[in-house]
Amino acid sequence: MTSGVRISWLALLLALLPLPAVAQWDAAQLLAALARAVPERIAYSETRRLAYLDVPLTSTGELEFRPPDWLRRSVQGSAESYVIAGDVVRVETPGGSREIALDVHPALRAFAESLRATLAGDLPRLQRHFHVELHGGIERWRLLLRPHYAGVAVLIESIELSGAGTQLLRIESRESGGDITITELKAGR
């Protein structure tokens, strides 16, 4: 009987002790992990489904990223590339280049920040432009971004970034007019 009483007291004592906190998986942890693991070059394939076309448009190419805010998108088979540096997008073509200020195009800024802030691990910058929702766990996750501002929401319904572990694998952009762009990513060299 004495050993039974001791076991009961031990069980009661253990039940009263606080349990260790279960680690919460949140957007800040995800972005920090992505920033530590992001490759400089990422190959992509993209499918654009436009409401006014019967056949989707496809392209492949490469993204280059240098933290915190330099991003280049090169399209395979085309001499065109797009460089976002700071507050400017530079469109480079064989005939020259032109610059577009992000301040003049809030939707373009929001789209640029969805990727740059995510790859840089900058949650506050991402939250300046979007409501951020993280779904899933580290093995398979989805980061859903919905624009804060009506002027942007008129064009962009949502951007969903998804991946596994520390790899961003897919970006799905839904425009308010029904157009959808799906970009599949694969770490490059």
**Per-residue pLDDT tens over the stretch 116-156:** 999 999 999 999 999 999 999 989 999 999 999 998 999 99
Q: What is the pLDDT of residue 10?
A: 42
Say whether 161 sits in a helix, a strand or coil.
strand
Set out the domains of the chain in order of their start, with CATH numbers: 24-187 (2.50.20.10)
Angle among Cα 164, 160, 173 to the nearest 5 degrees reads 130
Structure token pair of residue 128: 């300046």
Where are the strands (E) in 14-155, listed by range? 41-49, 57-66, 70-75, 81-85, 88-93, 96-101, 130-136, 141-147
For the residues 158-185, what does the mean pLDDT come to? Answer: 95
Model pTM score: 0.82
H or E stretch covering 157: strand 156-164
Q: How far apart are CA 1 and CA 23, in angstroms?
A: 40
Structure token pair of residue 130: 């979007």
The per-residue pLDDT for range 16-59, each reduced to its tens digit, is 444 344 356 799 999 999 999 988 899 999 999 998 899 999 99
Instruction: Give me the helices (H) in the chain, please.
Output: 2-16, 27-37, 106-120, 123-129, 150-153
- Is the distance from CB of 66 to CB of 40 less than 8 angstroms? yes
Instruction: Indicate if the pLDDT at residue 11 is higher than 80.
Output: no
Say whether 35 sits in a helix, a strand or coil.
helix
Q: What is the pLDDT of residue 113?
A: 93
- Is the distance from CB of 41 to CB of 62 less than 8 angstroms? yes
Q: How far apart are CA 141 and CA 168, in angstroms?
A: 9
